[in-house]
Structure 1
Amino acid sequence: MRRRLLAGLLGGVLLVGAAGCGIPQNTEVQVDGPGPAAEGAANSGSRGAPPSRAESGTREQFIENFLSAAAGEPDRAYQRVRQFIAPADHHRLQDKQGSEVTLTVVRLTEEPVIVNAPEKTEVTLNVQQVGQLRTDGTLAPPETSATTYTFELRGAPGEQGRADAGFYVANPPGVLLLSVEALEEYYQSRPIYFWNSDRSRLVPDQRYLPLAVPDERRVSEVVKWLTAGPSDWLRTGVSLLPDNTRLINNATRTDGRWEVDLDMQDGKPLLELLATQLAWSLEDLDGPLELKIRNQSRVVIPDLEAHRRAHPVHPLVELPKRFCVYEGAVHPLAGAGEPSGPVPLDARGNRNVVSAGLSRAGNQILAALVVTDANRQWLSVGTGPDPVAVFARGAKGYAAMSRPVWLRSTYRGQPAGLVVADGSLYRFDTGAQLTPVSLNVRGPVTAVAASLDGHRIAVIAGGALYVAALILDGTGISAGPARLLPTRLTGLSAVDWYGENSLILAGSVNRPAVYEVSVDGARESRLEDKIGARVNHLAAYPANPTVRLGAAMYEANGVAYRSGPLERIQPEQVQQVSPPQAGARTGNPTAPFFLY
């Protein structure tokens, strides 16, 4: 399921699902008796198959197809690739079996270099290592730092001179190569969901399912992924199913009702939690779902779509509102057809502001302001009903601080956020107390962003991009092992979450640009490259299953912009400014952000 994130709010019209916060205790999940006898679904046939060697015409097309050959179900990956390799060199590619089959995903950094010689044609691929695609659909970090692969192209043995003879690869790489373009074309990118540590919020995990997998096996694959656990980098931040939980046979469908038989610890509360995981992890399915324990019916979801509406994965209850900093204070921004409202801050605390992070928590506003005083920057934090009137200031000032971000899911309802100050990452609480957060990254931290679920972060450190899971418990907040993400961008300067499993990243590709990057670094797409100056501030409203549209705003060289299409935010759009005459305004709006 490829979700297209639309930049801009399209006039502020957002598709909003059922309102709600968290996961209600009373659900429509029913305890039920045994269902009717199961019968398998019809086979959907082969699909999503990459081109064969015989379908390759030019050398360039052959190379492209060679980098797609491993795509599909992993048990036949070696067989598909060997069709492209000269028979005499088959031994150079050593078979692996079962879960050991991995594909080396690479991004070409330039067009393949093809050099003709009297006896052979040599091909050099210059690549960026992206990751190792495993049989469980996870894209693990790369296992090599190789930046080039070289092999030869030869005609079919004994068939030189034939126009239709085609090519073979000689002296092939010893790994199964897969281009990022082939990953995009022959796999379905989809999230699956795991519960956080106190099982109050679902956390998405990125997976890839070959399009060649028949429909009737897709449910089984997702169940296996959930029982096996999350991606390695996410494991420390979520709850796992009980040990030894496994799927018995494959999921089956009877008269439109999916049946899943498990060998696992029996217990209705645990099964109801798993039912909600499955409902969201199988977002493209509707109708009933029955969960069995060793062939005994235990839980039935009468309708998956209704279950998702009753159990929203993110507690978003209001449309986002745009704000900015203007003349040292937070002000609302006007936009055609977009919701707007007064600043939820008392004027006495809304002064000398450099940047701000505001969030909603039930009927409370969480406000974190970076303010300037005596040539230093300080964190000022206030919480309460709109407008927030009481603020606490941090005990120490810093030379520079990032835009503060709130975590939208924190341990036992204790609000907390993150901010970067003088190259280090800190946790802050409602008393503006800053506590260092340790990260296993190199170099100073320059930016931080928190995901919509509040259990994952993205940071820029030492000029590189990382993601990490957050561990929330009674002792505070800590970060799990950080994962380095590959990107073509250099000079990284700002990051935020643009979707459940995607980031928006500012840097440069020959000139300043803003890209959308998947949470594993496999997918990159250019959003903006006409800003003309380094982006020093970026804020996004992330697309998600409840609200399908995303948006972003930037600041570069003291000028603020909104995305989709790129449009400068004018001083006349700033609301609640005195004097109201547009001609009397000076300066530009800066540090734009969203409140939701």
Structure 2
Amino acid sequence: MRLLIRAGMAAATVAVLALSGCGLPSGTEPKYVSPAQSPAAAQGGQKTPPKPTDGLTSEQLVASFLSASVGANLASDAEPDANQEALIRMRGYMTPGAAANWKPTTTKGIVIVRDPQIKSVGIGNGRENVTLQLQPLGTLTNNGDVRAWAGSPAIEAFYQTVLVGGQRRFDDAPRDQVFISETGLRNWYAQQPVYFWSNDAADARLVPDLRYMPSTLSRAKQVAETVRWLRAGPGQLLGSTVAGVPDSIEFKDTPVIEDNDVKVNLSGKANSQGKDVLSRLARQLRWSLPDHQPVKLSIESQDSAGVDSEGYLNDNPAVEASQVDQTRYIVVNESVRSQIIDSGTPEDPLFVAGPDNTGVVAAALNRQGDRAALVRKSGTGSKAEQRLYVSADPPVANPPRYEATNIAGPRLSRPAWITYPSKRLMISDGTRLYVSKAANGRELDPVELGTLSQVPISAFAVAPEGRRIAFVSAGTLMVATLTVDDNGKFSIGAPTQVSTSLGDNQAVGWLTETTLAVGGKPNAKSTHPIAPNIAEPRYNLVAVTIDGAQEEPLPQSLTRPEAVSDVTELVCRVNRPGFPMDYPVLYEANGVAQRMFTSSSEAMWPQTGATPATPVPGNNPTSPFFAD
């Protein structure tokens, strides 16, 4: 028999896909809980954990066992019940002898593995063996974050089952290392970022740190666990770019959850902090808690007058970024224009036709709408190059004027304007990343790589709060911190490699605060493992969490003819935290600008109102973008 752990990708394919699955990175397609899962998604109630129910085959028993570890990663001193319950639950999959010999190690967390192909082999006397090659993605730590294992070799795991009272059980003790599959992580953990204040004296903002909360915990325990995570400090990715909770803040008792708010009690040491610091703590807690329920602080059980979590929306730059104008722009006839021009509505003043809006291959507009950047081509043959131009200072002339910058090369990336930690313009020349010295974007300096050796950067995207950056280097996707010193010098911290199942990574954008949209060469083609006459889906876009632990194809469709082409450019509109995904993704594939929808994509031909123009062969729309 053969079984693959999997989740259905579309309602019409559930019957077939219930038996298929995700293998190693070069194999079949991945699954991912949702590119924009709300932190509140799994908070509707405590879920009953998986158990070795009646009638399971050997394959089903192994699949269930790779989900049964939910909660085992939690620190035994902080959440002893969840930790011990998980281990007791897992021993229930074994015979008494195997359970007695199993010595699991959870002090370093649970290893997340790609959904494996599971095949049992009968060896007689009712016994069956299952040998797995488990591809590790990372370790889920006792603080709920993931330490990525990109590029690590597969781990071999062996399971032998025997019939006990008609039920399959493991007769040999499994490996001491505890695993959880992608499906197990998706089904039994909710993505829940916790937030830390950036280390900026003048304009500190909240930065999310992705964590995973067991859905087997009661809401009260989930809140208590979140508070513990905050007290323990930021994870590996953020490091020293954010501030931990001040030492004078000590949480007392268990937070009290009421219908309208969450009450958090602090020790008397908090009296040393001013109202502003305590209010910031309340807003930080509110963002970090499930459902973002209002927070009220007390000190030694006495109400802290004037301290609340009101105004918390203003602290998260992702909220601001999600509200920026969503006019879509494209390059047509080597000039920038908006995709839709309604009758009587003028073109954006920065992109009015003129001598400077020519020879364009890529462009960007800042969110304030008063500055633009163009990548223009010139020359032919050995003298061909692309150069970055920026719009002249406001007011905007008619036609607009653009000035050349010091950045040129054979192929430049799409430029991007950032708002935080300060207004700047960024671009890559395919080798190095550059950032402007000022908001006007005219003079650009290389971004420092810190202690790293030279890393060629061909595509990049900066997170809404400006303290994290995702980039592609030689086809590899990486995420790192982005810092700026007192002299305005930008630098990239030590990067974390993020694995995807694409054939090659070529373009990246921030889909949510903690999820990336990645485009590139299509995934490796394969056939369905159970029905060889059915081809596995092809895709050239994925959503992947910044820790690499969860991934799914974009859009969620199994039939996209254009998915066999390369995605060479991509831009995203960050989705507002906690809101359903609306797929604000534009990209270029096979030389044509595309707009993504929930289950399909369409070419971005210029339109007047709702009427698309007649496509002209050889005159395709390219390089789509939103205001940054």
Matched residue of 2:408: which SS? coil
Spell out, residue by residue over 1:267-309, the C-alpha distance to the aligned partner (whole angstroms, 9 max, x if none): 21211111221222235144x532133444325566x6x6445
- Give the match for residue 121 of structure 1: 128
Residues in 2 aligned to 1:56 and 1:166: alpha-carbon distance in whole angstroms: 8
Residues in 2 aligned to 1:394 and 1:333: alpha-carbon distance in whole angstroms: 27
Mapped pair 1:482 → 2:495: yes
Aligned mate of 2:466, from 451, 454, 457? 454
- Give the match for residue 513 of structure 1: 540
- Give the match for residue 260 of structure 1: 264
Distance 1:308 1:368, change over 3 A: same
- Give the match for residue 436 of structure 2: 428
- 1:69/1:80 contact within 8 Å kept: yes
Mapped pair 1:530 → 2:587: no
- Give the match for residue 366 of structure 1: 371
Residues in 2 aligned to 1:336 and 1:140: alpha-carbon distance in whole angstroms: 49
Distance 1:250 1:583, change over 3 A: closer
Residues in 2 aligned to 1:192 and 1:354: alpha-carbon distance in whole angstroms: 39
- Give the match for residue 190 of structure 2: 188
Distance 1:546 1:117, change over 3 A: closer
How far off its partner does 1:384 sit?
Answer: 4.5
- Give the match for residue 391 of structure 2: 382
Distance 1:142 1:299, change over 3 A: farther
Residues in 2 aligned to 1:442 and 1:584: alpha-carbon distance in whole angstroms: 43
Matched residue of 2:49: which SS? coil
Distance 1:380 1:169, change over 3 A: farther
- Give the match for residue 418 of structure 1: 426
How far off its partner does 1:4 sit?
Answer: 5.5
Spell out, residue by residue over 1:171-220, the C-alpha distance to the aligned partner (whole angstroms, 9 max, x if none): 41221110111111111212222222224322222111111211122322
Matched residue of 1:395: which SS? strand
- Give the match for residue 232 of structure 2: 228
Aligned mate of 1:563, from 589, 596, 603? 596
Residues in 2 aligned to 1:147 and 1:491: alpha-carbon distance in whole angstroms: 20
How far off its partner does 1:377 sit?
Answer: 1.3
- Give the match for residue 478 of structure 2: 466
How far off its partner does 1:478 sit?
Answer: 0.9
Residues in 2 aligned to 1:540 and 1:335: alpha-carbon distance in whole angstroms: 21
- Give the match for residue 292 of structure 1: 298
- 2:104/2:176 contact within 8 Å kept: no
How far off its partner does 1:446 sit?
Answer: 2.1
Moved more, 518-527 or 443-452: 443-452
How far off its partner does 1:467 sit?
Answer: 0.8
- 1:405/1:418 contact within 8 Å kept: yes
Spell out, residue by residue over 1:335-392, the C-alpha distance to the aligned partner (whole angstroms, 9 max, x if none): 899x99525346343222111122224xx52322222123111122336447475544
Residues in 2 aligned to 1:395 and 1:88: alpha-carbon distance in whole angstroms: 72
Matched residue of 1:251: which SS? strand
How far off its partner does 1:473 sit?
Answer: 2.5
- 1:271/1:299 contact within 8 Å kept: no
Residues in 2 aligned to 1:543 and 1:554: alpha-carbon distance in whole angstroms: 17
- 1:105/1:130 contact within 8 Å kept: yes
Distance 1:436 1:495, change over 3 A: same
Residues in 2 aligned to 1:447 and 1:206: alpha-carbon distance in whole angstroms: 23
- Give the match for residue 147 of structure 1: 154
Q: TM-score, with normalisation over the residues of structure 2?
A: 0.77
Distance 1:340 1:253, change over 3 A: farther
Matched residue of 1:324: which SS? strand
Q: Which amino acid aligns with 1:503?
A: L
Residues in 2 aligned to 1:45 and 1:448: alpha-carbon distance in whole angstroms: 36
Percent identical:
27
Q: Which amino acid aligns with 1:421?
A: D
Q: TM-score, with normalisation over the residues of structure 1?
A: 0.81
Residues in 2 aligned to 1:283 and 1:594: alpha-carbon distance in whole angstroms: 31
Aligned mate of 2:507, from 470, 478, 494? 494
Residues in 1 aligned to 2:214 and 2:392: alpha-carbon distance in whole angstroms: 47
Distance 1:299 1:355, change over 3 A: farther
Q: Which amino acid aligns with 2:66?
A: L
Q: Which runs of 5+ in 2 are unaligned?
A: 1-31, 38-42, 75-82, 526-537
Residues in 1 aligned to 2:482 and 2:346: alpha-carbon distance in whole angstroms: 32
Residues in 1 aligned to 2:494 and 2:181: alpha-carbon distance in whole angstroms: 27
Matched residue of 1:81: which SS? helix
Moved more, 247-256 or 229-238: 247-256
Mapped pair 1:324 → 2:330: yes
Residues in 2 aligned to 1:274 and 1:70: alpha-carbon distance in whole angstroms: 33
Mapped pair 1:595 → 2:602: no
- Give the match for residue 30 of structure 1: none
Moved more, 183-192 or 54-63: 54-63
Aligned mate of 1:279, from 286, 300, 318? 286
Distance 1:480 1:310, change over 3 A: closer
How far off its partner does 1:86 sit?
Answer: 4.0
Residues in 2 aligned to 1:6 and 1:132: alpha-carbon distance in whole angstroms: 22
How far off its partner does 1:545 sit?
Answer: 2.8
Residues in 2 aligned to 1:105 and 1:480: alpha-carbon distance in whole angstroms: 25
Mapped pair 1:408 → 2:419: yes
Distance 1:560 1:585, change over 3 A: same
Distance 1:453 1:54, change over 3 A: same
- 2:586/2:625 contact within 8 Å kept: yes
